[in-house]
A and B are shown apart, each in its own frame.
Chain A
Amino acid sequence: MPFSEAAQRELQEIIQRYPDKRSAMLPALAIAQREQGYLTPEAYQWVAEMLGTSPTWVASVASFYTMLRKEPAGRYLIQVCTNLSCSLLGARSLLDHLRERLGIDVGETTPDGLFTLTTVECLGSCATAPVMQVNERYYEQLTPERIDEILAGLRREAGTCGDDRVAEGQS
């Protein structure tokens, strides 16, 4: 069983909130992703068992949602908004700056497994554009200088606290 007791209990508790346990699908997938870094066949199996459905069905639902990752990502997933309000205020040059600083293209992960760079559709932060999200956190009104500071801060954070999730997600 690749899923912890705690995850099991957490999901049980969430299921109770809904009149129909299938409604716990997205929360269940979110827990599975948090536990393993991305979604694996074991995750679909676990969710299917917990919700009384089939793994194929769970995989099909998961494939609909972009935040549910089917592949490992680096420790810091950098998502740059390229929708209109951000692009009108220079999202493209920020993206170029990030490519250059990280030495990777969009969709790639740095060799040390620290950063994955992607683009994302409107993050709902258009009045503080341009914007990017790193893991759960928003960074708004970005400039190239600000990006350098953020990257330096993340590198410091990664260097100081030993975290066993650093490598590309392992299952």
Chain B
Amino acid sequence: MDKFLLRNVGVPDSHRIEVYLSRGGYESWRRALTTMQPQAVVDLVKSSGLRGRGGAGFPTGMKWSFVPQGVYPRYLVCNADEGEPGTCKDRVLMENDPHLVLEGIAISSYAIEAHLAFIYVRGEFTLSAERLEAAIAEARAQGFLGKNILGSGYDLDIVVHRGAGAYICGEETALLTSLEGERGNPRLKPPFPATEGLYRKPTVINNVETLANVPLIVQYGAEWYKSMGTEKSPGIKLFALSGQVKRPGVYELPLGTPLRTLIEEYGGGTLEDQPVKAVIPGGSSAPMLTAAHLDTPLDYESIAAAGSMLGSGAVIVITEGTCIVSVVRRLIEFYAHEDCGQCIPGREGIAWLARILERIEAGKGREEDLDLLLDICDGLSGRSLCPLGDAVVGPVRSSLKHFRDDYLAHIRTGQCVQPVAVTIA
């Protein structure tokens, strides 16, 4: 299919403003600024049905309209902290098409009447940060950012803010705390950022990919956007395909494309044509699916109906022969490492999950441990201060449902009986 989000990726010097302009760049910004009122931009994005690409799929236009009337200043924050294992799509946009990201931020800032926007870039992404900084300088020099942009009287500055290695700062309230110069502890919601966000002012936080869709919607219209995807999940999505497939990569597809099409047509099938054992369809927090779910369409509703979530659209493929206990343990250790330690269900619950999984993988587990894992999940899910608690239980519960035999094999034989384990010794 035609590419939109990735249309400039692969074009030589795609990160330079001359190339971006020669391919129609900043026309949407000009159009929004000179022919549309801010509210008209909000209405357009609302009617396009665009949903947040950062994980939760929340309708973007609706989020923007939660900003209370008459309260200023407001801020727009672009969440570029991309850290959910499996997810690597925002980095592709920032490195290859930073001006598309900036154009999206500019139009969205105008829509919510913000004059200062921040891009919180994951600390490790040096090239992304450099490309964005350079792009901001280019856009400023050409009058697309700064004071009195294109003679409209509207001012906007964009600041690149680099993180320093903390996955939890991708969670929107932790991101704000971190941007205020503190430890990246999540905050209780409500208040939601739209009413009380950065410096306690109304703040809209959107993911990089979400914002990159906005110039396209201004350019081609809401009807065009809705002509792709499904009724409730309209439009296009970047899918980061990784794991045991022949051609991993970041692919742009309409929402609703079957999982099988992504894996077989785009990904070239599995390594050594092994049968699929498990698929994590939306980043590491998404519950695992099985080979029986391969015909599920990749949209928010269908993946939820199959028992998982579309999340960030990061699809990790695991083939037969790989030990699921080792997979789950690896993920839970990640969460234990990244947990902020602020609330007791999160801190204790995740640490205990990690300890029990370690014991099971080492062949020292007991059958009661499986119920214990589920008990801990019950104590964690819905009870933690931030949504990380819910994220953690996804892999544990789903693996116990679909791959209980892998756990039992460890417990009964005292060792791993699969050819491949992902444990790092």
Interface residues of A (CB under 8 A from B): 17-20, 22-27, 29-30, 51, 60-61, 63-68, 82-85, 87-89, 91-92, 95, 119-129, 133, 136-138
Q: Given the complex, which residues of B lie within 8 Å of A19, measured CB to CB? A: 73, 116, 199
Residue pair B318, A88 in contact (C-beta under 8 Å): yes
A121 touching B334 in the complex, CB below 8 Å, given contacts A22-B180, A126-B314: yes
A85 touching B242 in the complex, CB below 8 Å, given contacts A27-B162, A125-B88: yes
Pick the contact of B316: A64, A85, A95 (CB < 8 A): A85
Q: Which residue of B lies closest to A65 (CB)?
A: B164
Pick the contact of B243: A17, A64, A88, A121 (CB < 8 A): A88
7 A-B Cβ contacts within 8 A?
A30-B164, A61-B181, A89-B243, A126-B85, A126-B248, A127-B249, A137-B126
- How many A-B pairs fall under 8 Å by CB? 150
Residue pair B126, A92 in contact (C-beta under 8 Å): no
A97 to B338 Cα, complex, angstroms? 27
Residue pair A91, B424 in contact (C-beta under 8 Å): yes
Residue pair A84, B83 in contact (C-beta under 8 Å): no
Q: Given the complex, which residues of A lie within 8 Å of B284, measured CB to CB? A: 83-84, 122
A121 touching B164 in the complex, CB below 8 Å, given contacts A17-B159, A88-B422, A126-B240: no
Residue pair B244, A89 in contact (C-beta under 8 Å): yes
Pick the contact of A121: B178, B184, B337, B422 (CB < 8 A): B337
Q: Given the complex, which residues of A lie within 8 Å of B423, measured CB to CB? A: 92
In the complex, chain B residues 306-325 whose Cβ is within 8 Å of any chain A Cβ:
314, 316, 318, 322
A26 touching B181 in the complex, CB below 8 Å, given contacts A84-B331, A88-B318, A126-B86: yes
Q: Which residue of B lies closest to A63 (CB)?
A: B183
Q: Given the complex, which residues of B lie within 8 Å of A95, measured CB to CB? A: 424
Kindly state whether residue B122 has any CB partner on chain A within 8 Å: yes
A17 to B327 Cα, complex, angstroms? 43
Kindly state whether residue B241 has any CB partner on chain A within 8 Å: yes
Pick the contact of A84: B91, B240, B422 (CB < 8 A): B422
Q: Which residue of A lies closest to B334 (CB)?
A: A121
Q: Given the complex, which residues of A lie within 8 Å of B85, measured CB to CB? A: 83-85, 121-122, 126
Residue pair B316, A126 in contact (C-beta under 8 Å): yes
Q: Given the complex, which residues of B lie within 8 Å of A126, measured CB to CB? A: 85-88, 240, 242, 248, 314, 316
Kindly state whether residue B103 has any CB partner on chain A within 8 Å: no
A27 touching B161 in the complex, CB below 8 Å, given contacts A51-B181, A92-B422, A92-B425: yes
Residue pair B334, A127 in contact (C-beta under 8 Å): no
Residue pair A122, B182 in contact (C-beta under 8 Å): no
Residue pair B161, A127 in contact (C-beta under 8 Å): no
Pick the contact of B241: A25, A92, A127 (CB < 8 A): A127
A119 to B280 Cα, complex, angstroms? 23
Residue pair A65, B123 in contact (C-beta under 8 Å): yes
A67 to B330 Cα, complex, angstroms? 21
Q: Which residue of B lies closest to A137 (CB)?
A: B126
Residue pair A68, B165 in contact (C-beta under 8 Å): yes
Bits for B392-425, please: 1 = Cβ < 8 Å to A, else 0: 0000000000000000000000000000001111
Kindly state whether residue B20 has any CB partner on chain A within 8 Å: no
Kindly state whether residue B179 has any CB partner on chain A within 8 Å: yes
* Central interface residue in A24, A91, A123, A128, by most chain B CB within 10 Å: A123
A129 to B85 Cα, complex, angstroms? 12
A66 to B83 Cα, complex, angstroms? 13
Pick the contact of B83: A29, A30, A64, A122 (CB < 8 A): A122
Q: How far is the CB of A44 from chain B (nearest CB, A)?
A: 13
Bits for B84-101, please: 1 = Cβ < 8 Å to A, else 0: 111110110000000000
Residue pair A84, B327 in contact (C-beta under 8 Å): yes
Pick the contact of B250: A64, A83, A127 (CB < 8 A): A127
A154 to B141 Cα, complex, angstroms? 37
Residue pair A88, B316 in contact (C-beta under 8 Å): yes
Q: Which residue of B lies closest to A82 (CB)?
A: B424
Kindly state whether residue B163 has any CB partner on chain A within 8 Å: yes
Residue pair B124, A23 in contact (C-beta under 8 Å): no
Top 9 A-B residue pairs of the complex, sorted by shortest distance between their CB atoms: A25-B181, A67-B165, A65-B164, A22-B181, A87-B422, A66-B165, A85-B242, A126-B242, A122-B85
Q: Given the complex, which residues of A lie within 8 Å of B280, measured CB to CB? A: 84
Q: How far is the CB of A62 from chain B (nearest CB, A)?
A: 8
A51 to B181 Cα, complex, angstroms? 10
A29 to B242 Cα, complex, angstroms? 34
Q: How far is the CB of A98 from chain B (nearest CB, A)?
A: 12
Kindly state whether residue B154 has any CB partner on chain A within 8 Å: no
Residue pair B184, A64 in contact (C-beta under 8 Å): yes
Q: Given the complex, which residues of B lie within 8 Å of A23, measured CB to CB? A: 161, 179-181
A40 to B85 Cα, complex, angstroms? 32
Kindly state whether residue B214 has any CB partner on chain A within 8 Å: no
Kindly state whether residue B167 has any CB partner on chain A within 8 Å: yes
Residue pair A122, B334 in contact (C-beta under 8 Å): yes
Q: How far is the CB of B233 from chain A (nearest CB, A)?
A: 22
Bits for B165-199, please: 1 = Cβ < 8 Å to A, else 0: 11100000000001111111000000000000001
A63 to B341 Cα, complex, angstroms? 13
A26 to B424 Cα, complex, angstroms? 31
Residue pair B422, A124 in contact (C-beta under 8 Å): no
Residue pair A121, B161 in contact (C-beta under 8 Å): no
Q: Given the complex, which residues of A lie within 8 Å of B162, measured CB to CB? A: 26-27, 30
